[in-house]
């Protein structure tokens, strides 16, 4: 048995190699005797803006759609503005005389928050990070290492951190400040990495814990005051600011991602021919795994071949992950199928994986009602978009469902 991985839009060599190494490792754990290959097409069939993206009116800081649940919405705000929780603490502070105040504080002593800021500046000025350990491994394994130091420096040098530190007079407030700073640094690193981050929600939360501890706070201590304000705000964020925040990154900063889709819609025959060549290069059953645009191209290829009466040899099972193929079919924009038509005879079993937080993923089964070949499976990464679009590959539930699909298809 063979697996052939087809990457999605905007992927070029360096990112492909890191992503495929992860996919190959996880598939190899569950299918030790299988061949796992990749079909890298980004540099050959991908798009590059001929004028360097100068048609874009302007760019804005990275942001994200927080999605439907409170946690994802909160991190959506943090990705759009990593310092937003610190801004709440800097402006609102803590109520004087409240139960959070330190009853043993002595008049004239410096605020406890200043000690947290000293630890932050020390961390920002140290080698990044200092030596081997869990933090180093976590940053390397999630793609956040490059953005870690800029995020540290941005938080340490911010007026928000200085103001919040001055207002954190007691130890309980200092611990909350440490958590807010850790979330700010983590969000800054995630925003810097963008779609190149391969970070699960659990890894994100663990990074916050490690940083909080290094800043003198207690692990798993929520930022109560800031989170209470932002949690309510996150679920009320209107659509337009999100769209405004993403206009620049989606067109200029992430031009290959948008351009690859448009180029495929106009000139997709070359990519489909290349995929067919790779699928049929070896005999025997092949499981096709397509991410995003890779899934669209595979659906087109398989449907066109089946409609012509000659199914692609060896294509036993199709797995699409975070794919837009079902929605394109609804719009009448899928090359292989006329609007409203079903899948042709000879099309293989199709497992379609989606995440509700991934706004680029869609359901397939309702679009092809009554077709037993089509199955949807939901993954819950707990990540906001766009991180959710790349978060599938570290989810064990994805590989468990693929294993089940392989068994059901009788692929050996």
pLDDT digits (tens, 9 = 90+) for 354-391: 999 999 999 999 999 999 999 999 999 999 888 899 99
What is the pLDDT confidence band of residue 73, given thresholds at 50, 70 and 90? confident
Check: pTM over 0.85? Answer yes or no.
no
β-pairing verdict for 349-354 and 374-378 = parallel
The mean pLDDT value of the chain amounts to 82
In this prediction, residues 54-68 reach a mean pLDDT of 44
Tokens representing 370? 């009554």
Gap between the Cα atoms of 295 and 291, Å rounded: 5
Whether the pLDDT of residue 92 is over 80: the answer is: no
What φ, ψ does residue 378 adopt, rounded to 5°? Answer: -95, 135
Tokens representing 224? 């109560």
Domains present along the chain, CATH in parentheses = 2-49+252-409 (3.40.50.1820), 70-236 (no CATH)
What is the pLDDT confidence band of residue 407, given thresholds at 50, 70 and 90? very high
Gap between the Cα atoms of 288 and 304, Å rounded: 16
Whether the pLDDT of residue 57 is over 60: the answer is: no
| Residue 368, Cβ density class (10 Å: 0-12 exposed, 13-18 middle, ≥19 buried) | buried
Gap between the Cα atoms of 15 and 193, Å rounded: 11
Q: Is 340 left (phi over 0), alpha (psi -120 to 50) or beta?
A: left
DSSP 6-68: E--TT--HHHHHHHHHHHHHHHHHH-TTSEEEEE--HHHH----TTTTTTS--------B--S
Gap between the Cα atoms of 104 and 171, Å rounded: 10
Whether the pLDDT of residue 130 is over 80: the answer is: no
**What is the percentage of the chain residues whose pLDDT exceeds 70?**
78
- Do 154 and 134 contact (CB within 8 A), yes or no? no
Whether the pLDDT of residue 220 is over 90: the answer is: no
The length of the chain is 412
- Do 66 and 77 contact (CB within 8 A), yes or no? yes
300-359 pLDDT, tens digit each: 999 999 988 888 998 999 999 999 999 999 988 888 898 889 999 999 999 999 999 999
Whether the pLDDT of residue 95 is over 80: the answer is: no
Using CA atoms, how far residue 79 sits from 64, 104, 132, in Å, is: 6, 37, 27
Gap between the Cα atoms of 218 and 120, Å rounded: 15
- Do 4 and 31 contact (CB within 8 A), yes or no? no
What is the pLDDT confidence band of residue 168, given thresholds at 50, 70 and 90? confident
Gap between the Cα atoms of 54 and 305, Å rounded: 39
Contacts of 213 (CB under 8 A, 6+ apart): 219
Gap between the Cα atoms of 259 and 256, Å rounded: 5
16-25 pLDDT, tens digit each: 999 999 999 9
In this prediction, residues 56-81 reach a mean pLDDT of 61
């Amino acid at each position: 048995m063979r697996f052939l991985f087809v990457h999605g839009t905007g992927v070029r060599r360096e990112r492909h190699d890191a992503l495929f190494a992860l996919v190959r490792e996880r598939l190899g754990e569950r299918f030790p005797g299988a061949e796992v290959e990749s079909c890298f097409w980004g540099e050959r069939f991908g798009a590059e803006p001929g004028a360097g993206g100068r048609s874009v009116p302007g760019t804005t800081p990275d942001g994200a759609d927080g999605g439907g649940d409170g946690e994802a919405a909160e991190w959506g705000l943090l990705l759009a503005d990593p310092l937003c929780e610190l801004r709440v603490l800097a402006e609102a502070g803590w109520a004087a005389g409240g139960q959070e105040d330190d009853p043993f504080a002595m008049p004239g002593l410096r605020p406890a928050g200043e000690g947290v800021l000293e630890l932050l500046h020390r961390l920002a000025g140290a080698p990044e990070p200092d030596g081997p350990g869990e933090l180093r491994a976590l940053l390397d394994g999630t793609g956040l290492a490059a953005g870690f130091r800029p995020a540290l420096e941005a938080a340490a040098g911010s007026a928000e951190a200085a103001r919040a530190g001055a207002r954190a007079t007691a130890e309980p407030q200092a611990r909350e400040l440490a958590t807010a700073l850790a979330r700010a640094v983590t969000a800054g690193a995630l925003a810097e990495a963008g779609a190149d981050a391969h970070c699960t929600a659990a890894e994100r939360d663990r990074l916050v814990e490690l940083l909080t501890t290094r800043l003198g706070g207690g692990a798993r201590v929520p930022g109560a005051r800031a989170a209470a304000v932002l949690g309510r705000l996150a679920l009320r964020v209107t659509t337009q600011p999100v769209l405004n925040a993403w206009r620049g990154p989606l067109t200029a900063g992430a031009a290959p991602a948008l351009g690859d889709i448009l180029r495929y819609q106009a000139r997709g025959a070359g990519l489909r021919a290349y995929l067919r060549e790779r699928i049929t290069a070896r005999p025997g059953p092949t499981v096709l795994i397509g991410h995003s645009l890779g899934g669209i191209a595979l659906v087109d290829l398989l449907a066109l071949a089946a409609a012509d009466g000659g199914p692609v040899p060896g294509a036993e099972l199709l797995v699409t992950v975070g794919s837009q193929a079902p929605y394109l079919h609804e719009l009448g924009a899928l090359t292989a199928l006329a609007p409203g038509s079903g899948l042709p005879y000879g099309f293989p079993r199709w497992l379609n994986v989606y995440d509700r937080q991934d706004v680029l993923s869609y359901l397939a089964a309702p679009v092809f009602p009554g077709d037993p070949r089509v199955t949807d499976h939901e993954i819950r990464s707990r990540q906001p978009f766009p991180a959710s679009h790349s978060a599938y590959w570290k989810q064990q539930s994805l590989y468990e469902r693929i294993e089940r699909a392989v068994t059901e298809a009788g692929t050996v």
